[in-house]
A and B are shown apart, each in its own frame.
Chain A
Amino acid sequence: MIPAWTNDVLRYMLEQGLVNTLKIAAVALVGSVVVGVTLGTLLTIKFLPLRAVIRAYIEVWRGLPILVTIFIIYFALPAVSLSLRFDALTGAAIGLILWGSAQVAEATRGAVQSIPREQHEAASALGFGWVGRHAFVIMPQALRRLLPPLVSLLVNIIQNTTIAQVIGVNELLESGERSIERLNAPPPIGLGEIHSFEILATVMLIFFCISFPLTRLAAYLEKRLT
Chain B
Amino acid sequence: MTALLALDFTFLSDTWSFVETNFDELLAALRRTLQVSAIAIAGAFVIGLVLGAARAHRIPVVSQVAAVYVEIIRNTPILVQIFFLYYGLPQIDIFLDAYTVAWLAVMLWGGAFNTENFRAGFEAVPDRLREAGFALGFRPVANFLNVTLPVGGRIALPSSINTYISVVKNTSLMYVISYPELTTTVLQIQALTLETVEAFTVLALSYLIIVWTMSALIRLLESHLALPEAFK
Contacts and interface: CB of A to CB of B under 8 A. Distances in A.
Given A162-B79, A211-B75, A65 B196 contact: no
Interface residues of B, number: 33
Contacts of A162: 77, 79-80
A202 to B, nearest CB: 10
A165 B204 contact: no
Contacts of B84: 200, 204
A52 interface: no
B4 to A, nearest CB: 14
Nearest to B91: A197
Contacts of A166: 175-176
A215 interface: yes
Contacts, number: 95
A160 B77 contact: yes
Contacts of B175: 67, 166
Contact of A63 (B170, B187, B211): B211
A80 interface: yes
Given A80-B197, A200-B83, A211-B76, A60 B208 contact: yes
A67 B181 CA distance: 13
Contact of B212 (A59, A76, A212): A59
Contacts of A65: 169-170, 172-173, 183, 207
B219 interface: no
Interface in A67-113: 67-68, 71-72, 75-76, 79-80
B200 A207 contact: no
Nearest to A211: B75
A28 interface: no
Nearest to B197: A79
Given A200-B84, A200-B88, A212 B79 contact: no
Q: How large is the interface on A (under 10, 10 to 19, 20 to 34, 35 or more residues)?
A: 20 to 34
A122 B170 CA distance: 45
B93 to A, nearest CB: 12
Contacts of A184: none
A121 B8 CA distance: 49
A155 interface: yes
A59 B204 CA distance: 12
Contact of A165 (B79, B88, B211): B79
B204 A155 contact: no
B200 A173 contact: no
Interface of A: 59-60, 63-68, 71-72, 75-76, 79-80, 155, 159-163, 165-166, 173, 196-197, 200-201, 203-204, 207-208, 211-212, 215
Interface of B: 71-72, 74-81, 83-84, 87-88, 91, 169-170, 172-173, 175-176, 183, 187, 190, 196-197, 200, 203-204, 207-208, 211-212
